[in-house]
Amino acid sequence: MRKLLFLAAAVAVAQSTDISGERIRAHVKFLSSDLLEGRGVGARGGDLATEYIAAQFALVGAKSAGDAGTYFQNLTLVGVNPQATSTLNAGDTSFRWLDDFVGVTYQQKTDASFDADAVFVGHGIVAPEYQWDDYAGVNVKGKVVVLFTNEPPSNDPKFFTGRALTYYGRWTYKYEEAARHGAVAAIIIHTTPTASYGWDVVRGSWGREDSQVKLAPGEQQLALAAWVTKDAGEKLAASLGHSVDELLKMADTRGFKAVTLPMRISGTAPAAVREIRTRNVVAKIEGSDSRLKDEAVIFSAHWDHLGIGDPVKGDPIYNGAADNATGCAMIVEIARAWAGLAEKPRRSAIFLAVAAEEAGLRGSEYYGQHPVVAAGKTAAAVNLDMFMPWGRARDVTVTGAERTTLYPLVEEASRRFGFTIAPDPRPEAGTYYRSDHFSFARVGIPSFSIDQGMDLMGKPAGTGKKLFDEFEDQRYHQPSDEYRDDWDFTGMEHYARFAMLIGVNTANVSKMPTWKAGDEFLAARIQSGVR
């Protein structure tokens, strides 16, 4: 079997040399031009971008795999903009909007409110694989839960993966778990160490419109998902005769038991609500094996950027050339090379350009809930987001791949391409949970992003890091993330070939890839029918 695998690899390398940096350039140049107005979600530029990508898939011979025979998977997002008149009261204390608390309703209505008993649930985690259940022995249905973000600290890789943050530690998980338990509201007490950023960051990113995937009929959600400052949290903690730090220590300790607060918490969450129609672009190239062609490998990249916004130096168009015209161009080029393979890999390939990444991974979340090939039959998802026009690099980042049984295959591809695998620079910050591959991981699909390396060929050591810091500072999420004719696409060409090789080998491997035992995504995989 191993021999056969390498034979397939050799074929793929020969064919993937067909991937061309200059064709990637042409796609990037068009997708990031001012004509596309920054590819806003629900805007004309976004519609043009998706139409272009669909046309490219059609041209290379990838078949439509969207709704009703089209290349589009339509989705409706709900923009929920919380109003400054929002209120939050604990006992007879009233908290102030932005200064003491921020929050948004997940009920997608204009006048959500609640008034209920409150329970402190520690970190709000239910993780059977670590024998941890903060909701054990307590019924929070219709109640307000008060909790911390992050997870019990550990250096033991077998306990919440040690220093690296698991999904249980992310604030998004906290609200999801609270809603699963029927809570009416969830309030996270902010501390800088548990959040890994200060209150200013929370305040800045929460006082604005939130894009949510439209609720299914009858779906129960939180009337308010909120954060309070540590100072506001002290008021809640004091009602239990403790300080916030003491509550956190309790939450960190094995055997923690939820505690009912001796007061009711109430609030109103007025919001401006609007529907935003957008779409993912999805194409498919069928596999060659009569049985395995029902299974698939996904290549994904988000097509959206920030659209037209506040002008910077007179320029209002947020072109998003690196972020993420590059990834879109690369998956179009991979689709072209895949369609040109004389013998197709055994499993099918799905090429997926997703919407609304910038609004919180919403297009990929929608795909995860409405997959074209069931999650349990999807062997892998490889995501491409934000590549740099700096030529070839000696390294690559594939964070998350090591948590799946695909890793030996990824290592083999890296050796073949001369890449060293660079480690995640900040595992405790949980960057793994902030890119589209994560939407696929959470439904159990072995997923990771291939990310730009920093060790640039032919340039002095440290150049990549310097260029990246410069990009982050001067261009990232600004109108100046623009295409230039002096961009070097040889690096992207190389990374696209690398991605294709991983895809081909995954599509050919006999045993269905999965997460490794002890990983939080294995449970989702078991639920979706394949281990």
Q: Least distance (Å) from Zn ion to the CB of residue 322?
A: 8
Q: Least distance (Å) from Zn ion to the CB of residue 386?
A: 5
C-beta of 202 vs 328, nearer to Zn ion? 328
Rounded Cα–Cα distance for residues 187 and 84 (Å): 18
Burial of residue 322 (CB within 10 Å: 0-12, 13-18, 19+) is buried
Torsion, Cα of 121, 442, 306, 223 (10° steps): -30
C-alpha distances (whole Å) from 282 to each of 388, 403, 480, 507, 528 are 25, 27, 29, 18, 21
C-beta of 304 vs 520, nearer to Zn ion? 304
Map residue 62 onto helix, strand or coil: coil
C-alpha distances (whole Å) from 192 to each of 122, 135, 150, 189 are 16, 24, 11, 10
Its sign, for the CA torsion 288, 294, 296, 300, is: positive
Instruction: Tell me the pairing of strands 420-421 and 348-354.
Output: unpaired
Instruction: Tell me the pairing of strands 395-397 and 378-384.
Output: unpaired
| Residue 124 contacts residue 163 (beta carbons within 8 Å) | no
Q: Least distance (Å) from Zn ion to the CB of residue 390?
A: 17
Q: Least distance (Å) from Zn ion to the CB of residue 49?
A: 14
C-beta of 78 vs 361, nearer to Zn ion? 361
Q: Least distance (Å) from Zn ion to the CB of residue 163?
A: 26
C-beta of 303 vs 338, nearer to Zn ion? 303
C-beta of 333 vs 481, nearer to Zn ion? 481
C-beta of 287 vs 320, nearer to Zn ion? 320
Rounded Cα–Cα distance for residues 1 and 335 (Å): 26
Rounded Cα–Cα distance for residues 263 and 209 (Å): 31
Chain residues that interact with Zn ion, rule: CB under 5 A: 323-324, 385-386
C-beta of 24 vs 179, nearer to Zn ion? 24
Q: Least distance (Å) from Zn ion to the CB of residue 396?
A: 17
Q: Least distance (Å) from Zn ion to the CB of residue 463?
A: 23
